[in-house]
Structure 1
Amino acid sequence: MRIPLSWLREYVDVPADETPERIGERLVAVGLELEEIVTVGGEVTGPLVIGRVLEVEELTEFKKPIRFCRVEVGPEHGHPDTPGVRGIVCGARNFVAGDVVVVALPGAVLPGDFRIASRETYGKVSDGMICSERELGLGDDHNGIMVLPEGTAEIGDDAGPVIGLGDVVLDVAVTPDMGFCLSMRGVARELAHQYGVPLRDPAEIDDLPAPDAGTPHECAIDDLDGCSLFTLRTIVGFDPTAPSPYWMRRRLVMSGMRPVSLAVDVTNYVMLETGQPLHAFDQRKLQGAIVVRRARAGEKLETLDHVVRTLSADDLLITDDRGPIGLAGTMGGLDTEIDDDTVDIALEAAHFTPAVVARMSRRHKLSSEASRRFERGVDTVLAPYASARAAGLLLAHGGGRYVGMTGVEAPREPVTVEMAADLPARVAGIDVPRAVVVERLEAVGATVADPDADVLVVTAPTWRPDITDPADLVEEVLRLGGYDAIPPTLPQARAGYGLTESQRARRRVGRALAAAGYVEALAYPFVGDADLDALGIPADDERRRLLLLANPLSDEQPGMRTTLLPGLVATLRRNVGRGTSDVALFEAGSVFHLREGQQPRGVTAPPRPSVAGRPSHDDLTALTGLLPEQPLHVGVVLAGNVAPAGWWGGAQPAVWADAVEAARTVAGAVGADLQVRKGAAPAPWHPGRVAELVVAGAVVGFAGELAPRVCEDAGLPKRTSAMELDLDAVIAAATPVVTATGVLTFPVAKEDVALVVASDVAVSDVEAALVSGAGPLLESVRLFDVYTGEQVGEGSKSLAFALRFRAPDRTLTVEEVGAARDSAVAAAAAAHGAVQRA
Structure 2
Amino acid sequence: MRVLTSWLRHYLPTLSVTDRQLADDLTLRGIAVEGVHQLSDGHLFEMDITTNRVDAMNHYGIAREAATIYNLPLAPLHPALPIGTLVDQPFSVRIAPEAKGLCGRFTAQVLRGVTIAPSRGRVAEYFDLLGQKQISNAVDASNFTLLGMGHPTHAFDLDKIEGGIIVRLARRGEKLRLLDGTERTLEADDLVVADEKKALALAGVMGGWDSMITPETKNILVEAAWFDQASVRRSSRRHLLHTDASHRFERGADFNAAPLANALVCELILEAGGKLEGELVDVIDPDVAARTANRVPIELAVAQVRRHLGTTLDPEGITAEIVHQYLASLGCEPLLHGLDVYLVKLPSWRLDLEREIDLIEEIARVYGYNRFANTLPTALPVVDYPSAAAEHAVRNRLLQLGFSEAVSSTFASREDADLFYGTDAEMSAGKKTVAMENPLSEEASLLRPSLIPGMLTMLAHNLNRDVREVRLFEHGQVFTGTIPADAGYVSEVHESQQLSLGMTSAEVRPTPLYPAVDAPIFELKGVIESLTSLFVLPGGEAALSFTTANTPAWLEPGRSACALLNHQPIAYFGELASSSKEARKLRQPVYLAKIDLVRLYELPLRRATSHELSRYQAVERDFSFVFADSIVWSNIAEAIHALAISELTRLTPEEIFRDPKGKAVAQGQYSLLLRTVFQSHDRTLREEEIASWSMRIVETLKALGGTQRA
> What secondary structure is seen at the aligned counterpart in 2 of 1:304?
coil
The Cα shift of 1:740 comes to 2.8
Contact 1:447–1:459 (CA under 8 A) maintained in structure 2 = yes
> What secondary structure is seen at the aligned counterpart in 1 of 2:22?
helix
Query: Does residue 80 of structure 2 align to residue 207 of structure 1?
Result: yes
- Residues 743-802 of structure 1, C-alpha deviations (whole Å, 9 max, x = no match): 345536433231413141323321232222234443332223345689986465543334
Contact 1:756–1:792 (CA under 8 A) maintained in structure 2 = no
The Cα shift of 1:457 comes to 0.8
The letter for the 1-side match of 2:9 is: R
> What secondary structure is seen at the aligned counterpart in 2 of 1:335?
coil
Matches of 2:65 and 2:242, distance apart in 1: 26
The letter for the 1-side match of 2:531 is: V
The Cα shift of 1:449 comes to 1.3
Give the alignment of 1:546-585 within 5 angstroms.
Answer: 547=433, 549=435, 564-565=451-452, 567-585=454-472
Query: Does residue 505 of structure 2 align to residue 636 of structure 1?
Result: no
**Relative to 1, partners in 2 of residues 1:577 and 1:811: Cα closer, same or farther, differing over 3 Å?**
same
Give the alignment of 1:11-410 within 5 angstroms.
Answer: 11-13=11-13, 18-20=18-20, 22-39=21-38, 161=40, 167-201=42-76, 203-204=77-78, 206-212=79-85, 217-222=90-95, 225-240=101-116, 242-245=117-120, 247-255=122-130, 257-295=132-170, 300-312=175-187, 314-396=189-271, 398-410=272-284
The letter for the 2-side match of 1:639 is: S
Provide the TM-score with structure 1 as the length reference: 0.70
The Cα shift of 1:265 comes to 0.8
Query: Does residue 684 of structure 2 align to residue 803 of structure 1?
Result: no
- Other-structure match for 2:5: 5
Contact 2:535–2:606 (CA under 8 A) maintained in structure 1 = no
- Other-structure match for 1:731: 600
Higher relative contact order (CA 8 A, sep 6+): 2
Contact 1:293–1:319 (CA under 8 A) maintained in structure 2 = yes
Q: Which of the numbers 416, 425, 443 marks the counterpart of 2:329?
A: 443
Matches of 2:257 and 2:298, distance apart in 1: 22
Matches of 1:356 and 1:465, distance apart in 2: 17
The letter for the 1-side match of 2:309 is: A
**Relative to 1, partners in 2 of residues 1:570 and 1:744: Cα closer, same or farther, differing over 3 Å?**
same
> What secondary structure is seen at the aligned counterpart in 1 of 2:360?
helix
Q: Which of the numbers 307, 326, 329 marks the counterpart of 1:426?
A: 307
- Other-structure match for 1:137: none
Matches of 1:493 and 1:824, distance apart in 2: 62
The Cα shift of 1:369 comes to 1.8
Q: Which of the numbers 580, 586, 590 marks the counterpart of 2:473?
A: 586
- Residues 412-459 of structure 1, C-alpha deviations (whole Å, 9 max, x = no match): 563311123322233334464333323322221212211653542111
Matches of 2:344 and 2:451, distance apart in 1: 51
**Relative to 1, partners in 2 of residues 1:445 and 1:368: Cα closer, same or farther, differing over 3 Å?**
same
Greater shift in the superposed pair: 357-366 or 785-794: 785-794
The Cα shift of 1:187 comes to 0.4
- Residues 328-384 of structure 1, C-alpha deviations (whole Å, 9 max, x = no match): 333333332211111222222333444443444345443322232233333333333
Matches of 1:229 and 1:679, distance apart in 2: 62
The Cα shift of 1:480 comes to 0.8
Matches of 1:34 and 1:654, distance apart in 2: 53
> What secondary structure is seen at the aligned counterpart in 2 of 1:9?
helix
**Relative to 1, partners in 2 of residues 1:313 and 1:691: Cα closer, same or farther, differing over 3 Å?**
closer
**Relative to 1, partners in 2 of residues 1:311 and 1:580: Cα closer, same or farther, differing over 3 Å?**
closer
- Residues 263-314 of structure 1, C-alpha deviations (whole Å, 9 max, x = no match): 1111211221112222222222233333444556775543323444455554
Q: Which of the numbers 518, 528, 534 marks the counterpart of 1:663?
A: 528
Matches of 1:694 and 1:298, distance apart in 2: 52
- Other-structure match for 1:500: 386
* Aligned-pair Cα RMSD in Å: 4.3
- Other-structure match for 2:315: none
The Cα shift of 1:639 comes to 1.6
Q: Which of the numbers 598, 605, 609 marks the counterpart of 1:740?
A: 609
**Relative to 1, partners in 2 of residues 1:377 and 1:215: Cα closer, same or farther, differing over 3 Å?**
farther
- Other-structure match for 2:360: 474
Identity of aligned residues (%): 28
Instruction: Give the gaps of 5 or more residues in structure 1.
Output: 41-160, 607-622, 645-650
Matches of 2:43 and 2:554, distance apart in 1: 56
> What secondary structure is seen at the aligned counterpart in 1 of 2:221?
strand
Query: Does residue 649 of structure 2 align to residue 779 of structure 1?
Result: yes
> What secondary structure is seen at the aligned counterpart in 2 of 1:578?
coil
Contact 1:239–1:400 (CA under 8 A) maintained in structure 2 = yes
Contact 1:225–1:353 (CA under 8 A) maintained in structure 2 = yes
Contact 1:640–1:654 (CA under 8 A) maintained in structure 2 = no
Matches of 2:35 and 2:118, distance apart in 1: 32
The letter for the 2-side match of 1:399 is: G
Contact 1:772–1:824 (CA under 8 A) maintained in structure 2 = no
> What secondary structure is seen at the aligned counterpart in 2 of 1:177?
coil
- Other-structure match for 1:95: none
The Cα shift of 1:245 comes to 0.4
The letter for the 2-side match of 1:801 is: L
The Cα shift of 1:540 comes to 8.4
Contact 1:750–1:802 (CA under 8 A) maintained in structure 2 = no
Query: Does residue 637 of structure 2 align to residue 767 of structure 1?
Result: yes
Provide the TM-score with structure 2 as the length reference: 0.81
- Residues 497-522 of structure 1, C-alpha deviations (whole Å, 9 max, x = no match): 42222x44334433433343333444
> What secondary structure is seen at the aligned counterpart in 1 of 2:262?
helix
Contact 1:236–1:403 (CA under 8 A) maintained in structure 2 = yes
Matches of 1:315 and 1:565, distance apart in 2: 35
Q: Which of the numbers 497, 516, 519 marks the counterpart of 2:404?
A: 519
**Relative to 1, partners in 2 of residues 1:772 and 1:706: Cα closer, same or farther, differing over 3 Å?**
farther
Matches of 1:688 and 1:381, distance apart in 2: 65
Query: Does residue 705 of structure 2 align to residue 833 of structure 1?
Result: yes
**Relative to 1, partners in 2 of residues 1:229 and 1:634: Cα closer, same or farther, differing over 3 Å?**
closer
> What secondary structure is seen at the aligned counterpart in 1 of 2:111?
strand
> What secondary structure is seen at the aligned counterpart in 2 of 1:828?
helix
Aligned residues: 676
- Residues 383-405 of structure 1, C-alpha deviations (whole Å, 9 max, x = no match): 33333333222222x11223342
> What secondary structure is seen at the aligned counterpart in 2 of 1:466?
coil
Matches of 1:468 and 1:594, distance apart in 2: 29
The letter for the 1-side match of 2:201 is: G
Contact 2:434–2:481 (CA under 8 A) maintained in structure 1 = no
**Relative to 1, partners in 2 of residues 1:564 and 1:472: Cα closer, same or farther, differing over 3 Å?**
closer
Matches of 1:308 and 1:584, distance apart in 2: 47
The Cα shift of 1:665 comes to 4.1
The letter for the 1-side match of 2:385 is: L
- Other-structure match for 2:395: 510
Matches of 1:463 and 1:563, distance apart in 2: 39
The letter for the 1-side match of 2:305 is: P
Instruction: Give the gaps of 5 or more residues in structure 2.
Output: 313-317, 511-515
> What secondary structure is seen at the aligned counterpart in 1 of 2:11?
coil
- Residues 559-616 of structure 1, C-alpha deviations (whole Å, 9 max, x = no match): 7777655554454345334333333333344567788x999xx95455xxxxxxxxxx
The letter for the 2-side match of 1:457 is: L
